[in-house]
Chain A
Amino acid sequence: MNTNVATTTARKTLFRFKRGSGESNLHGYLFISPWLIGFLLLTLWPIAQSFYLSFTDYSLLSSPVWTGMDNYKRMFYYDEDFVQSLKVTFTFVLVSVPLKLFFSLMVAQLLSKSMKGMSLYRTMVYFPSLIGGSIAVSILWRNMFGVDGYINKVLAVFGIEGRGWISDPDSALWTLILLNVWQFGSTMVIFLAGLKQIPQELYESASVDGAARWRKFYHITLPMLSPVMFFNLVLGVIGSFQMFTAALIVTRGGPMHATYTYALFLFEKAFKHFQMGYASALAWVLLLIVALITALNFYVSRFWVFYETDGGGRK
């Protein structure tokens, strides 16, 4: 009896700070304040400030000078580097994101069965993703794909004449795409988690109906996995738009700007040429591009992403 009363009082007290009393607001905001302050100071304010700066000429040394739309005009009408970096980045995104999704899904399928040695395979496949973003791996790539690099040496053994993979504008971007796709491990782990969520009964009843393996994949796995696919797609696109370290270290944006990614372009304008106004305009255009593509992704997802309704079979 006593405990009952106590529990009821406790629930009431909890209820009280759930219902937005002044005190509970204070507690709540106190707890989230580190993030909130960080968001206002290091995200919201910078976004607003870069919007202002994008209409100015600013070199850090003197105060910003208002130049209206000049930065944007320069970008769209006169700056060939802008067009080139967009071309490079879009190629990179359009090739490496689908490849990565494809590989991760296939490998996740292979790894999803529980059998001996699985964790070892998983470790080996995931390992490149762990270190792949580091400058160290970029150095490795630069060496392996150099004119005198390992790849050409091995090709020579088979009598194939190699090429300067990195120094040839036709292949340079592809070495970076390969480096990126090699790191499909974390995308794969997310698929793996998604595969485990699919109820086995679906496959079992399909087997009873005599469905072939690829039919099960097409009619069960793909639709059930589509929300995970969508998640990987959205984050993969956003991540690939920011490709920086490899472009700087492996190829330095060259040869002939064949690997001059948008992030590298923005970085050089801001911190090599100190054109802060122009770089801010570039940042805003990047934000708009990414936001647009993400919005488009969300819109298109209505037609292919399958969400289980409450009436569905999930336990």
Chain B
Amino acid sequence: MNALRPHLSRHLILIVFSLLMVYPIIWWLGASLKTAPEMSLPTIWPSTPIWDNYTAGWDFSPSPHTFAHFYSNTLLMEVGNVIGGVLTAAIVAFGFARLKFKFKGFWFSILLMTLMLPGQVTIVPQYIMFNRFEFTDSYVPLILPHFFGGGAFFIFLLVQFIRGIPRDLDEAATIDGASVYGIFLRIIFPLIKPALVTVAIFTFIWSWDDFFSQVLYLSSVDKFTVGLALRMYIDQFEVQWGQMLAMALLSVLPSAVIFFLAQKHFVEGIATTGIKG
């Protein structure tokens, strides 16, 4: 209590404010445990919590698949995205941070400019291109872009991180006869692991939420991600709010769990580069 006293008013404001912020989420959790008649009461928590919304929602009776299928689809896509993003972002960032080559400054400023490019500007020709190669309704258009450096934000983040590693290490390795590839593989890559975790986490969460691309490229229910399955709930059937809220809440669980496990990486990642979470 003694620790609290000098900042009492600040604590009070913060407690009220943070509760206000998470209030919709608490209500969400409560509503997902309510029976249908109880849904229409202004209470925040059910009198007797039930799991029926979760079990019935998971089975998703009007569709031939349960949510297990949609989760495994999404995870499959995520594995590709995370591997592609982490590996290629590290390679490209090493090039920009440590090597000298012609027009490096030019390319780096182009890289930074693409941060400001709205995604919708390129989406039509990209779709046409993937369509021409008959990659639509597959995971290729969703995964492949991650293998081209994983996104300018991540390259920028890693470049900043590598610049913080003393060059003496590179020089010492050069003395021992290491090539640039050796320096990258044996020195830089192991040292940037913490930053790579940040890249992996953000790639995972953003891909999970990248509804635009998913709705654009995936059309058969068989290949649907969790997000698209949720949309089916709204569109096709008489809305079962309890089940829908339960499944929607479940769908943010992976991001939430990762966030709580790796909070430090998050805050640092956002703070050093200004990445939007």
Contacts and interface: CB of A to CB of B under 8 A. Distances in A.
**A-B complex is real:** yes
Given A53-B124, A139-B234, A107 B118 contact: no
Contacts of A136: 227, 230, 248-249, 251-252
Interface in A203-243: 231-232, 234-235, 238-239, 241-242
A182 B25 CA distance: 12
Interface stretch (B45-53, B60-68, B75-83, B203-211): B203-211
Interface string A277-312: 001100110110010001000000000000000000
B175 to A, nearest CB: 5
A126 B101 contact: no
Interface string A102-140: 000001001101011101111111111111011111011
A259 to B, nearest CB: 16
Contacts of A28: 95, 99-102, 104
Contacts of B131: 60
A287 B174 CA distance: 46
A240 to B, nearest CB: 10
B13 interface: yes
A286 B175 contact: no
Contacts of B96: 31-32
A253 to B, nearest CB: 14
Contact of A34 (B4, B11, B123, B149): B149
Interface in B210-260: 211-212, 215-216, 227, 230-231, 233-234, 241, 244-245, 248-249, 251-252, 255-256, 259-260
Given A116-B4, A186-B276, A235-B276, A31 B42 contact: no
A244 B171 contact: no
A10 B124 CA distance: 50
B71 interface: no
Given A42-B148, A190-B274, A36 B107 contact: yes
Interface residues of B, number: 98
B100 A20 contact: yes
A66 interface: no
Contacts of A110: 10, 13-14, 17
B11 A117 contact: yes
A73 B18 CA distance: 50
Nearest to B104: A28
Contacts of B216: 267, 271
B256 A186 contact: no
A249 B201 CA distance: 25
Contacts of B41: 153
Contacts of A130: 205, 255-256, 259, 277
A238 B116 contact: yes
Interface stretch (A75-83, A142-150, A169-177): A142-150
Contacts of A245: 209, 211-212
B164 interface: no
Nearest to B217: A271
B4 to A, nearest CB: 7
A60 B266 CA distance: 42
A117 B3 CA distance: 10
Contact of B117 (A19, A43, A133, A193): A43
A24 B10 contact: no
B27 A32 contact: no
B121 A283 contact: yes
Contacts of A284: 121
A53 B148 contact: no
B194 interface: no
Given A34-B149, A140-B28, A234-B116, A50 B107 contact: no
7 contacts: A31-B184, A35-B88, A35-B92, A38-B148, A49-B125, A142-B234, A189-B271
Interface of B: 3-4, 7, 10-11, 13-15, 17-19, 21-22, 24-25, 27-28, 31, 40-42, 88, 91-92, 94-96, 99-102, 104, 107, 110-111, 114-129, 131, 145, 147-149, 152, 155, 170-172, 174-175, 180, 184, 205, 208-209, 211-212, 215-216, 227, 230-231, 233-234, 241, 244-245, 248-249, 251-252, 255-256, 259-260, 263, 266-267, 270-272, 274-277
Interface of A: 6-7, 9-11, 13-14, 17-20, 24-25, 27-32, 34-39, 41-43, 45-47, 49-50, 53, 60, 107, 110-111, 113, 115-117, 119-131, 133-137, 139-140, 142-144, 148, 150, 153-154, 156-157, 182, 185-187, 189-190, 192-193, 231-232, 234-235, 238-239, 241-242, 244-245, 248-249, 263, 266-267, 270-271, 276, 279-280, 283-284, 286-287, 290, 294
Given A11-B171, A31-B96, A34-B147, 10 more contacts: A28-B99, A28-B104, A34-B91, A35-B92, A115-B3, A115-B11, A125-B18, A136-B252, A266-B120, A287-B117
